[in-house]
């Protein structure tokens, strides 16, 4: 018998996959919007929840801030995260070779550590995430004053 993802991730302390699964549309939106405006880069996600490993992903709201880091700023971002230079070099290779139209690079920071994920073979591409969030903007924002974060030509 295989345990539900919420149970085994909670027990092992590994929660990042569930976080990505639950937030893929807005993360893909940030990735595609950032790529179109600034070229290659990655999505940096700062998770604010105190105990992310014990979240009930079906019910609990996880507070996070996502932003796009263009390639030129990626080394500085990882320097602040205290990543070793050889890791940064390998990550820069990934930034230069990933396929933005079908893949997603994401750094998830929480509790003083950072995990990098290179998502491939996505069931929904970053451009599709962008379009879905744009078309359903009211579902993704709690502030009615925020306006649309999408180009009207999309």
Percent of the chain scoring above 70 in pLDDT: 76
pLDDT at 111: 81
d(CA 74, CA 30): 16
Task: Domain of residue 111: give its range.
Answer: 26-48+71-136
pLDDT at 18: 85
pLDDT at 153: 58
Q: Is the confidence at residue 93, as pLDDT, over 70?
A: yes
Q: Is the confidence at residue 130, as pLDDT, over 60?
A: yes
**Phi-psi region for residue 112, left (φ > 0), alpha (ψ -120 to 50) or beta?**
left
d(CA 137, CA 132): 8
67 phi/psi in degrees, rounded to 5: -145, 160
Tens digit of pLDDT for each residue in 15-52?
Answer: 888 889 889 999 999 999 999 999 999 999 998 876 66
Task: Decide if 10 is inside a domain.
Answer: no
Task: Decide if 62 is inside a domain.
Answer: no
Task: Decide if 91 is inside a domain.
Answer: yes
Q: Which is more confidently placed, 6 or 55?
A: 55
Q: How many domains does the chain have?
A: 1
Task: Decide if 65 is inside a domain.
Answer: no
SS3 31: helix
Tens digit of pLDDT for each residue in 97-126?
Answer: 999 999 999 999 988 888 999 999 999 999
Of 58, 38, 31, 23, nearest in space to 139 by CA: 23
d(CA 136, CA 145): 15
Give the global pTM.
Answer: 0.80
d(CA 65, CA 86): 27
Task: Name the range with the highest mean pLDDT among 62-66, 85-89, 98-102.
Answer: 98-102
Mean pLDDT over the full length of the chain: 82
Task: Decide if 64 is inside a domain.
Answer: no
Cβ atoms of 73 and 41 within 8 Å: the answer is yes
Task: Decide if 66 is inside a domain.
Answer: no
Confidence band, pLDDT 50/70/90 cuts, at residue 5: very low
Of 152, 133, 144, 146, nearest in space to 30 by CA: 133
Q: Is the confidence at residue 152, as pLDDT, over 60?
A: no
pLDDT at 9: 38
């Amino acid at each position: 018998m295989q345990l539900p993802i919420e149970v085994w991730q909670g027990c092992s302390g590994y929660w990042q996959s569930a976080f990505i699964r639950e937030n893929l549309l807005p993360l893909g939106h940030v990735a595609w919007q950032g790529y179109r405006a600034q070229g290659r880069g990655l999505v940096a996600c700062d998770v604010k929840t105190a105990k992310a490993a014990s979240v009930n992903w079906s019910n609990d709201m996880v507070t996070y801030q996502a932003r796009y880091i263009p390639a030129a700023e990626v080394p500085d971002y990882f320097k602040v995260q205290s990543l070793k230079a050889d890791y940064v070099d390998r990550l820069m290779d990934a930034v230069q070779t990933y396929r933005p139209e079908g893949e997603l690079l994401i750094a998830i920071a929480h509790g003083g550590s950072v995990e990098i994920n290179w998502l491939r073979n996505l069931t929904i591409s970053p451009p599709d995430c962008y379009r879905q969030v744009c078309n359903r903007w009211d579902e993704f924002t709690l502030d009615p004053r925020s306006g649309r974060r999408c180009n009207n030509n999309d």
